[in-house]
Chain A
Amino acid sequence: MSDSPTGLTQAQKAEQVRSMDLLRFATAGSVDDGKSTLIGRLLLDSKSIFEDQLEAVEATSQSKGYDYTDLALLTDGLRSEREQGITIDVAYRYFATPTRKFIIADTPGHVQYTRNMVTGASTADLGLVLVDARQGLTEQSRRHAVILSLLRVPHLVLAVNKMDLVDFSQEIYEKIHAEFTQFATKLNIPDLEVIPISALQGDNVVTRSEKMPWYSGPTLMHHLEHVHVASDRDLVDVRFPVQYVVRPKSDEHHDYRGYGGMVAGGVLKPGDEVVVLPSGMTSKIAGIDLFDQEVSEAFPPMSVTVRLEDDVDVSRGDMIARPANAPKPSQDIDAMVCWMTNEPLRPRQKLAIKHTTRSARALVKDIQYRLDVNTLHRDQDTKELGLNEIGRVQLRTTVPLLCDPYSKNRATGSFILIDEATGVTVGGGMINSAS
């Protein structure tokens, strides 16, 4: 075994890679808040940018007559965006430090903001909201916080950017901090960190700023590397949506019948008593397979194949849970829906719905209110939801869904709505309750 350039042996490095975990985070902010510059900075300072990418950006910056390298150009992907100088869609970025890999869902702040933010936030462990220190909290930053809270993103970072333009003033930071903390009491944000930064100059992004000695909290990178996300999963309530029935039908594995799927909640173990929904049949777990290995337990988000002791009828769309802890099959769904297409959502409309591995049709029974994401006001007079609007909706489904409240489980509490004629995804839903 030879020593690597980092001074670690191959065995040590392999161990490091094996234990490296994952943080998915969503960023929100407008072009003016310096979001793209911040992401460019994170990529650059974690050495995730390559020379040819940096050279291309330097050349473009020069041809545009800038006197500094515009790091925002690193993330503006499509030509149509580069021409317009705006970001039009969710883009995914990757970087890693020795202990953690990061997936950034980079969402634009203005056009189509709700649709894109909801998409980016749906898979995020952490939300990063940027504000311009000169402007303080805006309607837009409040809106971003509201959406992250609705999507139950458990960790939120408010990055107060452009501190260099306000002389690194502690007073301004404290004012924004206090104002945001006050606003956040109305939301569901279990963990909040407010960090003063300058994305352009790198202060408190990766290295601690010497210009803000009054700030004793973590740098942004330190926080991203250390925020604890493992306990955000539900390890108590067993939920296993059956995705695919594995039946080899070969001589070697003649009698093999396994249920492939991704664990959505709880810990499954061989020997556990289980119930299959919606049939209600009970059995015991005979074994859990991960490729050619048997494993002693399975937990979220593992993709495994579960075998049962009894020959019960199980198919895709069913759910394996525990007899004393199972969701009640429900056809009446009360949910917050984010609408994502031009033609508004109206009562009596029929749509296709996809929930875990189960597909059905849904009828819109009622739209109870539209939520103003800027003020949190509930508008009960409107009876429709327009593009990028969020509201509370009652649905009736053709077959029972095996669901939980979204606040309990993001995987079994979420669904998408699909236009049956065009096949396009037109809405995302978060279940409040079901009966």
Chain B
Amino acid sequence: MTETHADYQLSQLDQLEAESIHIFREVAAEFEKPVLMFSGGKDSIVMLRLAEKAFYPAKIPFPVLQVDTGYDFPEVIACRDKWVSRLGVRLIVASVEQAIADGIVVDDGKTSRNRLQIGTLLNALEEGSFTAAFGGGRRDEEKARAKERVYSHRDEFGQWDPKMQRPELWSLYNGRIHEGEHMRIFPISNWTELDIWHYIGREGIEIPAIYFSHQRRVFQRDGMLLTESDFNPLRTGESAEERTVRFRTVGDLTLTGCVESEADTIDKIIDEIAIARVTERGATRGDDRFSEAAMEDRKKEGYF
């Protein structure tokens, strides 16, 4: 038996964990068909861990849904498979390639895979008739997210209307929806990037290897360092070279930039972030840089 806190104080990480567990249980109790949207990134792995804790020793009572862009990092897929087999949770993979083949989304050669994910995701949610979908969004990530509720209502088209949000009081969540609508649930809304890393360190959580410093052949494009790969042919004037890098976010390989870094442990990553001067999205996500309101637009369409 572990001794808890003599002064009845919970640290802020413990408070965040307790809040997230509360949200997972509330959704599992009130929604008919929840699903956890899994990106393979550190935030969604922390969500898996929190869900594991919420229902232990029972298994997580809902499946995990991943949108496969076709351009995913192999290290991310490997890590996902380990988690899924350890937890014994059902994995549903919705493939963008398949969605293109089925005519659900249209690849015009200009649209990014992250954008094509929206249609693929919405289709998978509809096909599975899921009524609640957990997402790993954090309010510190971006200005539009700062105003989003923990329970975020989506209409029949999967759209978010910031002006129609329900007030969210105390820890009383309103999960009522109509036929065809669903709720996006953000259990880690109140966590910051630093909280996530501290928690990964404290819990010894396994995350994809690409978060740690490694050697990789990269090239410069639009001010970002991108991975050389078959999905991402070099354009005229671009040249790849080997650098010591790591990734701060995980997404479509063709769009997710890395940063030069020697941080090969969680502690070193935390040190690096504590003195970082650019937000994780601003630094390494091409899809958020197209316009100042890029995230707001994608959210309204039904992006995570």
A interface residues with partner B (beta carbon < 8 Å): 4-6, 10, 13-14, 17-22, 50-53, 56, 75-80, 88-94, 96, 100-101, 103, 115-116, 118-119, 122-123, 230, 233, 235, 243-244, 246-250, 252-253, 256, 260-262, 267, 289-299, 301-303, 305, 316, 340, 352, 354-357, 410-411, 414-416, 418, 423-425, 428
Q: Select A244's contact among B9, B25, B274, beta carbons within 8 Å.
A: B25
- On whether the beta carbons of A297 and B4 are closer than 8 Å, the reply is yes
A-B contacts, CB under 8 A, total: 214
Q: How far is the CA of A96 from the CA of B190 in the complex (A)?
A: 13
Task: State whether A92 and B146 are in contact (beta carbons under 8 Å apart), knowing that A20-B12, A22-B12, A248-B59 are contacts in the complex.
Answer: yes
Contact mask for chain B residues 54-68; partner A; CB cutoff 8 A; 1 contact, 0 none: 111111000000000
List of B residues within 8 angstroms of A416 by Cβ: 169-170, 172, 174
Give the 4 A-B CB pairs with smallest separation, nearest first. Answer: A423-B176, A77-B143, A22-B12, A52-B282
- Smallest CB separation, A395 vs chain B (Å): 15
- On whether the beta carbons of B147 and A79 are closer than 8 Å, the reply is no
Task: State whether A17 and B13 are in contact (beta carbons under 8 Å apart), knowing that A50-B276, A96-B192, A123-B171 are contacts in the complex.
Answer: yes
Task: State whether A423 and B178 are in contact (beta carbons under 8 Å apart), knowing that A21-B11, A122-B170 are contacts in the complex.
Answer: yes
Q: Select B177's contact among A22, A262, A298, A423, beta carbons within 8 Å.
A: A423
Contact mask for chain B residues 1-34; partner A; CB cutoff 8 A; 1 contact, 0 none: 1111001111111111111011001101100000
Q: How far is the CA of A296 from the CA of B57 in the complex (A)?
A: 18
Residue B110 interfacial (CB < 8 Å): no
Q: Select B163's contact among A88, A233, A267, A356, beta carbons within 8 Å.
A: A88
Q: Select A243's contact among B25, B140, B176, B278, beta carbons within 8 Å.
A: B25
- Smallest CB separation, B219 vs chain A (Å): 22
List of A residues within 8 angstroms of B9 by Cβ: 21, 230
List of B residues within 8 angstroms of A303 by Cβ: 17-19, 21-22, 25, 54
- On whether the beta carbons of B25 and A296 are closer than 8 Å, the reply is no
Interface of A, helix, strand, loop or mixed by DSSP: mixed
Q: Select A415's contact among B2, B13, B163, B172, beta carbons within 8 Å.
A: B172
Sample of 23 A–B contacts (CB below 8 Å): A5-B271, A20-B11, A20-B12, A21-B11, A50-B276, A50-B277, A53-B279, A78-B147, A79-B293, A94-B140, A115-B167, A123-B170, A243-B26, A248-B57, A250-B57, A260-B25, A292-B57, A293-B1, A297-B4, A302-B18, A303-B21, A303-B25, A425-B167
- On whether the beta carbons of B4 and A295 are closer than 8 Å, the reply is yes
Residue ID in chain A nearest B15 by CB atoms: A22
Interface size class of B (residues with CB under 8 A): 35 or more
Residue B53 interfacial (CB < 8 Å): yes
Residue B78 interfacial (CB < 8 Å): no
Residue B139 interfacial (CB < 8 Å): yes
Q: How far is the CA of A18 from the CA of B16 in the complex (A)?
A: 12
Q: How far is the CA of A291 from the CA of B271 in the complex (A)?
A: 29
List of B residues within 8 angstroms of A316 by Cβ: 29
- On whether the beta carbons of B13 and A119 are closer than 8 Å, the reply is no
List of B residues within 8 angstroms of A22 by Cβ: 11-12, 15-16
List of B residues within 8 angstroms of A298 by Cβ: 4
Q: Which of B19, B56, B166 has the most chain A CB within a 10 Å cutoff?
A: B56
- On whether the beta carbons of A94 and B139 are closer than 8 Å, the reply is yes
Residue ID in chain B nearest A424 by CB atoms: B166
Residue ID in chain B nearest A115 by CB atoms: B167
Task: State whether A292 and B22 are in contact (beta carbons under 8 Å apart), knowing that A21-B9, A262-B171, A423-B174 are contacts in the complex.
Answer: no
- Smallest CB separation, B246 vs chain A (Å): 17
Q: How far is the CA of A290 from the CA of B2 in the complex (A)?
A: 10
List of A residues within 8 angstroms of B22 by Cβ: 243, 262, 303
Residue B230 interfacial (CB < 8 Å): no
